Amino acid sequence: MTAYNRVVSFCAALLLLIECGATTSAAPKASAAPGKAQLTVLYDAFGKTSTMAKDWGYAAFVEYDGKRILFDTGNNPEILAQNAKAKGVDFAKLDFVVMSHRHGDHMGGLTYLLKVNPTVKIYAPKEGFGVYGSDLPSSFYRKDESLPPEQRYYDGAPPEVMRFGSAWPGANLQLVDKNTEITPDIHLIALVSDKPGTLELRELSLAINTPDGMVIVVGCSHPGIDKIVEAAGTINPRIHLIVGGFHLVVSSDADIQKIVTALHDRFNVEYVAPGHCTGEPAFTALKKTFGDQYLYAGLGTTLALTASQK
pLDDT digits (tens, 9 = 90+) for 203-246: 999 999 999 999 999 999 999 999 999 999 999 999 999 999 99
3-state secondary structure at position 243: strand
3-state secondary structure 138-157: HHHCCCCCCCCHHHCHHHHC
CA triplet 222, 123, 60: central angle to 5 degrees? Answer: 65
The CA distance from 284 to 297, in Å, is 14
Within the chain, which residues score under 70 in pLDDT? 1-34, 310
Q: Give the pLDDT score at 26.
A: 42
pLDDT value of residue 28 = 52
Rounded to the nearest angstrom, the gap between the alpha carbon of residue 307 and the centroid of all alpha carbons in its chain is 20
Question: What mean pLDDT, rounded, does the chain reach?
Answer: 91
Q: What is the predicted pLDDT for the residue at 259?
A: 98
| Per-residue pLDDT at 191 | 98
- Cite the residue boundaries of each domain of the chain with CATH code 3.60.15.10: 32-132+167-309
Q: Give me the pLDDT at residue 128, please.
A: 86
Identify the pLDDT of residue 58.
98
Cβ contacts of 75 within 8 Å, gap of 6 or more: 43, 55, 56, 57, 104, 105, 106, 108, 109
31-50 tens-digit pLDDT: 444 679 999 999 999 999 78
pLDDT at 49: 79
pLDDT of residue 309: 75
| The predicted structure's pLDDT at residue 308 | 77
Q: pLDDT value at position 17?
A: 36
Q: Are 246 and 262 in contact (CB under 8 A)?
A: no
Which class is domain 32-132+167-309?
alpha beta
Instruction: Check if the beta carbon of residue 236 is closer than 8 Å to that of residue 28.
Output: yes
| Alpha helix stretches (DSSP H) within the chain | 3-22, 77-86, 104-107, 110-116, 225-233, 253-261, 280-290
Q: What is the pLDDT of residue 50?
A: 85
- pLDDT at residue 10, as a whole number: 42
Collapsing DSSP to helix, strand or coil, 57 comes out as coil
Amino acid identity, residue 16? Answer: L
pLDDT reported for residue 281: 98
Indicate the SS3 state at residue 47: coil
Region of 229 on the Ramachandran plot (φ > 0 left; ψ -120 to 50 alpha; else beta): alpha
